[in-house]
Structure 1
Amino acid sequence: MRKIAIIGGGQAGMPVAFGLLEKGYEVAVYTNRTPDQIREGRVMSSQCMFANALDVERRLGINFWEDECPPVEGIGFALPDPEKPDTKAVDWSGRLDRVAQATDQRIKMPVWLEEFEKRGGRVVIEDVGIAEMERISNEYDLTVLAAGKGEVVRLLERDPSRSPFDKPQRALALTYVHGLEPTPEYSRVSFNFIPGVGEYFVFPSLTLSGPCDIMVFEGVPGGPLDRFRDAQSPQEHFERSVSFLQEFLPWEGDRARNCELTDDQGYLAGSFPPTVRKPVLTLPSGNIVLGMGDAVVVNDPITGQGSNNAAKCAQVYLDSILERGEQPFDRQWMESTFEKYWEYANRVVTWTNSMLLPPTPQALALLTGAEKHPRLAHFMANAFDHPPVLFPAWADLTEAEKLIQAKAQEPVTA
């Protein structure tokens, strides 16, 4: 029986832990908070998971919120008219072929940790630094670093060839609310892009107090949406959220007229640079640790891919560990495992990073063309489930024009 240690009890590490446990491995998960501390703490993310990522959880039998989580049935896109800010210059939406879901990680992660122990896994509550990793890596056949935050993550070397930004590109904020007016026809992730100011998107979710919506604010640093850093209270954070919508996105402000914060921990503000790190950490002893999930690829949330990437990374790593059998988990295997994931993730990173920059001609053609062509809107919406399908069109104007023409000729079905 091989022994695997996973440092980090989140969206990337836990599916690997469950999958290995199911196959008879001895698995320990190291995390620095108890389930109750997570439940009582601040919200952690804006996770909207699309169907392919949810399938990873379904295969493992850990999709416990399937029936109670509100569905996310589509994607919408709006661009304000610069001449008439209270109207939309571009406005379209497309249905997802399979619904997405967003479950507050304060619900999800405690249940996963408790269920993991019930199934025979070992959960260790401990702050893990270099000394602890040395000890753990001596005790286990493989140590995986799946924690996305903290000093230990920064021990992984940044890969400059895959990390074009060296500082945060957006000032980020989350606001969990009850009482938001639903979108007409079907629920969706409603994206709003304001050139030079930033982005706002919102979608249904499930939180500790029931169904809610998660507001996500992405402000250009120093601009009018960079307004949350010095908020002194949960209510002040909430009020700044609503006032921004009323001023810059009045159609979203109308939806928020009767909403309120879900709870005093239902908000977050901060920033980080999108970063890709090299996947192998060499400890002072010479022992090696494999990084995964946000520890090695952290995207800006602008395309909503963080939790989706984590789940897909988990599937690649789980398969690779199982395929390795009794062979050693050496550096070459670690690097090869990461590169298998990077074959997928590099397209997601390219797409996400491009959304933080002024739009290219091909991006504008696709995002505006979707208003005219319903089949293109449907394609763009479902690309969130598997972003590589956007390429080569997202990177090449000629290819984008070919895609638009092809979608324009497809029959529109009910």
Structure 2
Amino acid sequence: MRKILVVGAGQSGLQLALGLQAHGYEVTLMSNRTADEIRYGRVMSTQCMFHTALQHERDLGLNFWESQAPRMAGIGVSVSGPGAERLVDWVGRLDGYAQSVDQRVKMAGWLDTFAQRGGQLVIHGAAVSDLDYFARVYDLVLVAAGKGELVSMFARDAARSPFTRPQRSLAAAYVHGLGPRPEHPDTEVARCNLVPGVGELLVTSTLTTSGRADLLFWEGVPGGPVDVFQGVTDPAEHLALTLDLMERFVPWEHARTSRVELTDAGGVLVGRYTPVVRQPVAHLPGGGLAFGVADVVVTNDPLTGQGANTASKCAAAYLRAILDHGDAEFDEAWMRRTFERFWAQTAGPATKWTNVMLGEPPEHVLTLIGAAGALPRVADRFANGFDDPADFENYFFEAEKTEAYLSEVAGG
């Protein structure tokens, strides 16, 4: 039986560990926190997962909360004008619904499941010296812990990393009591509110530790009027600031907040990080190798909601590659082939799209977003790009392709 070590108990690490466990591998999982420490701690992310990523969970029988989590049937896009009026407002329908489960719920539940199924769980914050030892004991060492000392082992890939500083300041609040959008009161929709030059407000429904909730997530341009959450430690102050900014820049969303309250004292999150792509293989001091997983090697800004989706797709791709490899050695050539396949099919398209959306939108992209309000086929295709960013290559990035696509749709 092959022995595999997975370091990190997030979306990718746990999904991969549970998948390997189900296929008979001897898996050790290292987490720096217990299930209860995760469950009763602070929120960790603003996850919204689309059909393909959700299907990977279903395939492994890990969709424990699918019947409870709200089902988002579409993606709504609004663009604010100089006077905080809505210049654009439309909804694109998803082919398969999206869902969000607070990672405190999911990761704690999956961690318990791994242990209950007989997996070896080690509660320990791994260091490079630990991995140096483990690389001699295990057939494969997978690093899925996207923060801390271990990440520094994986060198930055300058050719794939155009940014050297954060592109957005991030501030999220989990809330109860948000009212429905009057345009579709009976339909759950993930909302993307774009405020040019200021940032974005993303609103999604989720399942948290206290039941159904909504996420209010500001992405502020650094140095701009939304970049004001650093140093705010009081959750109530965080929520008040969130709502004030909504009233100022997206009043149509603020109109839904008259009964809003935080889900819990740990229901706020503030941060910023630089999007980066890293080399997938780390060389340990003793000569062993570690293979980077998901956001260890590809970290995108959460603006386009690709983080948890890319992590799930990475876990699925690595699982298939491990199974297909049989008893052969997990050498550096295999690791690099496996990553490059994942990059070409999944991470590369998601990274390219996210990086474009972080910048000043080109004129043809603004035209496309505006046209989607009158052309439901365009709105639907854009919405489904959140599930399959590779499709944007066909009509989004180049003005000529955008013009040809809009002409085709309008003509039809």
Normalising by the smaller structure, the TM-score range is: over 0.9
CA contact (8 A) 1:43 1:267 kept: yes
Counterparts of 1:35 and 1:18, CA distance in 2: 15
| AA at the equivalent of 1:403 | Y
Matches within 5 A, 1:314-393: 314-343=315-344, 344-393=346-395
Partner residue, 1:188: 189
Runs of 4+ in 1 over 4 A off after TM superposition: none
Partner residue, 1:70: 70
SS at match of 1:173: strand
Partner residue, 2:11: 11
| AA at the equivalent of 2:64 | F
Q: Deviation at 1:409? A: 4.3
Partner residue, 1:101: 99
Counterparts of 2:148 and 2:73, CA distance in 1: 35
Partner residue, 2:115: 117
Q: Deviations over 1:180-237 (max 9, x none)?
A: 1122422111111111111111010000011000111111111110011021301011
Counterparts of 1:174 and 1:409, CA distance in 2: 42
CA contact (8 A) 1:375 1:408 kept: no
After TM superposition, the score normalised by the length of structure 2 is 0.97
| AA at the equivalent of 1:383 | G
SS at match of 1:139: coil
Counterparts of 2:110 and 2:411, CA distance in 1: 46
| AA at the equivalent of 2:383 | A
| AA at the equivalent of 1:42 | R
Counterparts of 2:189 and 2:404, CA distance in 1: 27
The correspondence for 2:153, drawn from 152, 155, 160, is: 155
SS at match of 1:395: coil
SS at match of 2:149: coil
Partner residue, 1:223: 224
The correspondence for 2:164, drawn from 163, 166, 183, is: 166
CA contact (8 A) 1:376 1:408 kept: no
CA contact (8 A) 1:16 1:318 kept: yes
Q: Deviation at 1:406? A: 2.6
| AA at the equivalent of 1:241 | T
Q: Deviation at 1:16? A: 1.3
Partner residue, 1:284: 285
Counterparts of 1:45 and 1:319, CA distance in 2: 26
Counterparts of 1:325 and 1:153, CA distance in 2: 28
Q: Deviations over 1:95-132 (max 9, x none)?
A: 21111100000000011011111222111100101111
After TM superposition, the score normalised by the length of structure 1 is 0.97
Partner residue, 1:295: 296
SS at match of 1:44: coil
Question: Which is further off, 102-111 or 384-393?
Answer: 384-393
Q: Deviations over 1:264-308 (max 9, x none)?
A: 000010100000000000011110000011100011000001000
| AA at the equivalent of 1:321 | I
Counterparts of 1:288 and 1:366, CA distance in 2: 45
Counterparts of 1:132 and 1:403, CA distance in 2: 53
Q: Deviation at 1:405? A: 2.3
| AA at the equivalent of 1:18 | L
Aligned: 1:250 with 2:251: yes
Partner residue, 2:58: 58
| AA at the equivalent of 1:365 | T
| AA at the equivalent of 1:312 | K
How many residues get paired? 408
Aligned: 1:206 with 2:207: yes
Matches within 5 A, 1:228-243: 228-243=229-244
SS at match of 2:136: helix
Counterparts of 2:411 and 2:263, CA distance in 1: 45
User: What RMSD, in angstroms, separates the aligned Cα atoms of the two structures?
Assistant: 1.0
Q: Deviations over 1:21-75 (max 9, x none)?
A: 1111101110100000001111000000001100000000010001110111110
CA contact (8 A) 2:128 2:149 kept: no
SS at match of 2:227: coil
Counterparts of 1:331 and 1:365, CA distance in 2: 45
Identity percentage over the alignment? 46
- Unpaired stretches in structure 1, ≥5 consecutive residues: none
